[in-house]
């Protein structure tokens, strides 16, 4: 939960394998639309991470007033759809950090 991410960096990742690239594309599209529809989400570019890639940024404040950030990266490489979520203190982490982790993961998915 982002509101309690006032501590060490929290990183979560998941990769789903589909039978075809077309099925993976459909899942990727549905997932990115679902996340983009959440309140206070800021869509961002993930750059050239995979065949398709998308980023979302969410800012909030912890109960004790610390600014917190959650970055969600979603990408597709052929028939794989991956999601990486990084949570932590704002200014302590962000999209650039999440992209470093995502590019390392994506390299193993090619």
pTM for the predicted model, two decimal places: 0.88
Whether the per-residue pLDDT at 28 is higher than 60: the answer is yes
Whether the per-residue pLDDT at 56 is higher than 60: the answer is yes
Burial bucket for residue 68 (CB in 10 Å: 0-12, 13-18, 19+): buried
Q: Which of 72-76, 93-97, 100-104 has the lowest mean pLDDT?
A: 93-97
Measure the CA–CA gap between 107 and 91, rounded to whole angstroms.
Answer: 27
- Residues 47 and 54: beta-carbon distance below 8 Å: no
Number of Cβ within a 10 Å radius of residue 70:
22
Q: What is the pLDDT of residues 2-16, one digit of tens each?
A: 555 555 688 999 999
């Amino acid at each position: 939960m982002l509101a309690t991410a006032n501590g060490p960096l929290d990183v979560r990742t998941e990769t789903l394998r589909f039978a075809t690239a077309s099925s993976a594309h459909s899942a990727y599209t549905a997932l990115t639309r679902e996340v983009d529809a959440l309140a206070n989400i800021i869509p961002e570019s993930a750059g050239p991470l995979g065949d398709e890639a998308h980023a979302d940024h969410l800012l909030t404040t912890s109960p004790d007033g610390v600014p917190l950030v959650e970055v969600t990266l979603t990408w597709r490489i052929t028939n794989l759809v991956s999601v990486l979520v990084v949570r932590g203190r704002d200014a302590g982490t962000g999209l650039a950090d999440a992209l470093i982790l995502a590019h390392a993961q994506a390299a193993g998915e090619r």
